[in-house]
Amino acid sequence: MPALAERLRNVQVAASVAMTTKVRELSAQGHAVISLTIGEPDFATPRHAVDAAYEAALAGQTKYPPMDGTKALKEAIQRKFLRDNNLRYELNEIMVANGGKQIITDAFFATCDVGDEVLIPSPYWISYAQQARLAGATPRFIECSQNNGFKLRPEDLEAAITPRTKWLILNFPNNPTGAACSRAEMQALAEVLLRHPHLWIMSDDMYEHLVYDDFEFCTIAEVEPRLRDRVLTLNGASKTYAMTGWRIGYAGGPSALIRAMTNIQGQLTGGVSSVGQAAAAAALDGPQDLIRERARAYRERRDLALSILAEAPGLHCHKPEGAFYLYPNVAGCLGRTSHGGRLIQTDADLAMALLEEKHVGTVAGSAYGVSPYLRLSYATDTATLTEACGRIVAFCKDLR
């Protein structure tokens, strides 16, 4: 067999994907498995967005779309940025991609050379590091401890920046911890970044609208306008509007960067599904009440899960400000043996034992750069979440 590319040597299959595959295998064997592995809303795509896609198809919008997005969607994105973030982007400063993941890929391939560094606060979404490696860059991690609410401290950021730093990624609310930065905390980070004009800043705002307890979201280009020409503000329809399968991501940034990213996208894939863009435009411009309603539902689920898991010996949960994940510390479970006889030495052992013995799918914190933790998604209905958390509590109580 001919050899595969060297670039794949350090690129691994995402742990969340691997665990989801195992969940499906057990389910196919007839087990009643509950999966808390994937960050996917359980709500339906808004009906008016679906109708817009159908009408676009009937109207003949089924040809190759513009590489950077349709004018209608880019105008809707333009209005969204102004309405929600007080950011003014011209149309040539906006692009649409096949999900937020491609925005990141486009950005790294358009800017990174071998030897460049991408700073990633840790815990971090798995794909950041993998995409940096694929682009030839080196990921560098800045630990954000639970003692600091999993937030990036200015002094740690300052210490991590080198002459080779090309990007800093900010993802608050965060996947996997749900941590979010206040305006004052974001301004403190901005003060550091103003002293280092050689690096780009990527603000991944996918969970922008999923914040709780009167927490006010902010994004760095809004907080510090002097950074605007170095910031790529990334968002999408997946989490906010439950449109994961439509694959619509978008970004606003300096026109030269957007132009370079569009060039990369033209070589990798092409323009995004035309009917999907019509649906996303309708979602962005349509009624926004559902966002607040769904955020309330997620907050109730968060509080429910926290209350149940408080009864689990060995688990300690940080209360997240946003997103739809819990990231409990499981240090108290290590060094013990499960009811099924498995020695729990790592968070990966714990995740596997939970799946095999209690049929609950989770993801080990080691996949996100910090152990010993588990990531649990509470983007599921109340009854299912209650059952899953109950199984986790029972598992922990059986440890010996």
What's the whole-number average pLDDT of the chain? Answer: 96
State CA 267 to chain mean position distance: 25
- Asked whether the predicted pLDDT for residue 23 surpasses 90, the reply is no
Predicted local confidence at residue 27, as pLDDT: 80
| Spatial distance between the Cα atoms of 220 and 171, rounded to a whole number of angstroms | 11
Looking at 285, 318, 343, which one is the last position of a domain? Answer: 285
Tell whether 371 is covered by a domain.
yes
Residues 217 and 92 in one domain: yes
CATH number of residue 118's parent domain: 3.40.640.10
Segment 134-138 shows an average pLDDT of: 96
One domain for residues 39 and 154: no
Question: What is the predicted pLDDT for the residue at 389?
Answer: 98
CB 374 within 8 A of CB 362: yes
Same domain, 338 and 221: no
pLDDT at 20: 77
Tell whether 81 and 106 lie within a shared domain. Answer: yes
What pLDDT is stored for residue 299 in this prediction? Answer: 98
Together in a domain, 13 and 52? no
Average pLDDT over residues 317-324: 97
Q: Which two tokens stand for residue 365?
A: 């914190």
- The whole-model pTM stands at 0.95
The predicted structure's pLDDT at residue 212: 97
Count of domains for the chain: 2
Q: Which two tokens stand for residue 222?
A: 């809004």
Instruction: Give the whole-angstrom CA distance, residue 239 versus residue 99.
Output: 11
Q: Do residue 84 and residue 198 come from a single domain?
A: yes
pLDDT for 202-236, tens place per residue?
Answer: 999 999 999 999 999 999 999 999 999 999 999 99
Q: Could you tell me if residue 215 is inside a domain?
A: yes
Query: What residues have CB less than 8 Å from 220, skipping those under 6 apart?
Result: 170, 186, 189, 190, 193, 201, 203, 227, 231
Q: Give CA–CA dist 269/282, Å, rounded.
A: 24
Q: What are phi and psi of 241, to 5 degrees?
A: -110, 15
Residue 294's pLDDT band (cuts 50, 70, 90): very high
Does residue 263 lie within any of the structural domains?
yes
The residue that leads in pLDDT, 6 or 235, is 235
Residue 211 domain-assigned (yes or no)? yes
Distance between CA atoms of residues 121 and 144, nearest Å = 6
- Supply the range of the domain harboring residue 390: 6-44+290-398
Quick one: 267 and 381 in the same domain? no
Q: Are residues 65 and 206 in the same domain?
A: yes
**How much is the pLDDT for 17?**
73
Is the domain of 63 the same as that of 162?
A: yes
Same domain, residue pair 97 and 30: no
| CB-based contacts of 330, cutoff 8 Å, min separation 6 | 314, 315, 347, 350, 365, 372, 373, 374
> Is residue 192 a part of any domain in this protein?
yes
pLDDT for residue 141? 98
Average pLDDT of span 102-112: 98
- Counting residues of the chain whose pLDDT is more than 70, the rounded percentage is 99
d(CA 250, CA 206): 10
Which CATH number belongs to the domain containing residue 33 in this structure? 3.90.1150.10
Residue 368 within a domain: yes
Cα first-last separation, the chain: 48
Confidence of residue 30 (pLDDT cuts 50, 70, 90): confident
pLDDT given at position 26 = 82
Q: How confident is the model at residue 38 (pLDDT cuts 50, 70, 90)?
A: confident
Based on the domain organization, do 305 and 251 belong to the same domain?
Answer: no
Select from 262, 285, 308 the last residue of a domain.
Answer: 285
Q: Which of the listed residues 237, 258, 285 is the one where a domain comes to its end?
A: 285
pLDDT in tens, 167-188: 999 999 999 999 999 999 999 9
Q: Is residue 1 in some structural domain?
A: no
Residues 213 and 88 in one domain: yes
Instruction: Please state whether the peptide bond connecting residue 173 to the residue before it is cis, i.e. omega within 30 degrees of 0.
Output: yes
Instruction: Give percent above pLDDT 90 in the chain.
Output: 92
**Band of residue 368 on the pLDDT scale cut at 50, 70, 90:** very high
Structure confidence by residue, pLDDT tens digits, 242-282: 999 999 999 999 999 999 999 999 999 999 999 999 999 99
Domain-embedded: residue 239: yes
